[in-house]
């Protein structure tokens, strides 16, 4: 269960949040935090309990004259173990392309970070029934040169129209796309779809977590707004843990 804090929280509020949840010991659920970059160095100093953390982005190069970027090597040196890649806000606001993501995935693996590759369609793409096509392209364009994939990779399906809007994909919509992602991955590489964790993101909250995470094709969540409040995130973690237990 991953909390993407986006560009929110200051050191005090971030520490209060993670430490409020540090006693949580979900049996089946791995909790991950994705703070904004300047907080990464603090995360290893705070009591996270069993949770782990990562960055919201990395650059494809390990070091050099790339003002404003952060390297996988640095994230790893600060104790991070994961990185989000290709979040729709990165794609739409900062022009990130699938081809760039390919290089970023390689950089993550080189420095022992597990990439969480985010994909998903816009409202316009869904309304014109192009969502499968868009998702297939996003997957192929960022993964096909990396085959065979032998390093850890997590996928996150985040329909752009469900992010921060309070509108969640219905269970049927989410499951249908998760199954489609598995089939594309299986076509790319035998068994890849079956062995890859696929998270759902987009207005996840304690009210809808149960129906989403009880689906066997939805392996976890990437939570924005609701991950900023300890009580909400705690509830979502518990619900997910119960679903995996059941
Ligand atoms: P919300 O949960 O706020 O809709 O954000 C989802 C998201 O973008 C997580 O990466």
* Three-state secondary structure call for residue 57: coil
Pair type for strands 52-55 and 32-34: parallel
Check: CB of residue 113 under 8 Å from CB of residue 76. yes
pTM > 0.85: yes
Calculate helix-pair angle for 131-143, 171-188, nearest 10 degrees. 40
Number of the ligand 1 atom closest to the C-alpha atom of 203: 4
Q: Which residues of 221-231 are buried (b: 16+ CB within 10 A; e: fewer)?
A: bbbbbbbbeee
Quote the pLDDT of residue 245. 76
Number of the ligand 1 atom closest to the C-alpha atom of 165: 4
Quote the pLDDT of residue 167. 83
Pair type for strands 197-201 and 52-55: unpaired
Quote the pLDDT of residue 164. 85
Quote the pLDDT of residue 244. 84
The CATH number corresponding to 2-245 among 3.40.50.300, 3.40.1500.10, 3.30.565.10, 3.20.20.70 equals 3.20.20.70
Query: Quick check: CB of 203 below 6 Å from ligand 1?
Result: yes
Closest C-alpha to 74, from 30, 98, 110, 33: 110
How many CB atoms neighbour CB 215 within 10 A? 16
What token pair was written down for 131?
């969502």
Query: Quick check: CB of 11 below 6 Å from ligand 1?
Result: no
Query: Quick check: CB of 120 below 6 Å from ligand 1?
Result: no
Residues of the chain scoring pLDDT < 70:
246
User: How far, in Å, from the CA of 200 to the mean position of ligand 1?
Assistant: 10
Which mutation among 6, 56, 201, 226 tests ligand 1's pocket best, with the greatest number of atoms within 8 A of CB? 201
Per-residue pLDDT reduced to its tens digit, 62-108: 999 999 999 999 999 999 999 999 999 999 999 999 889 999 999 99
Quote the pLDDT of residue 246. 66
Q: Is the peptide bond before 9 cis (omega within 30 degrees of 0)?
A: no
CA 162 to each of CA 31, 174, 225, 227: distance values in angstroms, whole numbers, following the listed order: 22, 11, 12, 16
Q: Which residues are catalytic?
A: 87, 158
* Three-state secondary structure call for residue 119: strand
Query: Quick check: CB of 220 below 6 Å from ligand 1?
Result: no
């Amino acid at each position: 269960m991953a909390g993407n804090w986006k560009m929110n929280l200051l050191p005090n509020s971030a520490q209060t949040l993670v430490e409020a949840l540090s006693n949580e010991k979900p049996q089946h659920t791995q909790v991950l935090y994705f703070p904004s970059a300047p907080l990464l160095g603090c995360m290893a100093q705070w009591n996270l309990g069993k949770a782990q953390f990562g960055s919201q982005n990395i650059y494809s190069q390990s070091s050099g004259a790339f003002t404003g970027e952060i390297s996988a090597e640095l994230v790893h040196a600060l104790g991070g173990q994961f990185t989000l890649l290709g979040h729709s806000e990165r794609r739409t606001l900062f022009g990130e392309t699938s081809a760039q993501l390919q290089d970023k995935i390689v950089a993550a693996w080189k420095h022992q970070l597990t990439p969480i590759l985010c994909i998903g369609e816009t409202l316009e793409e869904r309304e014109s029934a192009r969502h499968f096509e868009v998702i297939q392209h996003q997957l192929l364009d960022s993964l096909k040169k990396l085959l065979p994939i032998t390093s850890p990779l997590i996928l996150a399906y985040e329909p752009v129209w469900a992010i921060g809007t309070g509108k969640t994909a219905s269970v049927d919509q989410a499951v249908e796309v998760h199954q489609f992602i598995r089939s594309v991955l299986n076509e790319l590489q035998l068994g890849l779809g079956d062995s890859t964790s696929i998270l759902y993101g987009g207005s996840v909250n304690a009210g809808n977590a149960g129906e989403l995470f009880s689906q066997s094709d939805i392996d976890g969540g990437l939570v924005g707004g609701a991950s900023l409040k300890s009580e909400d995130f705690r509830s979502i973690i518990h619900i997910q843990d119960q679903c995996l237990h059941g």
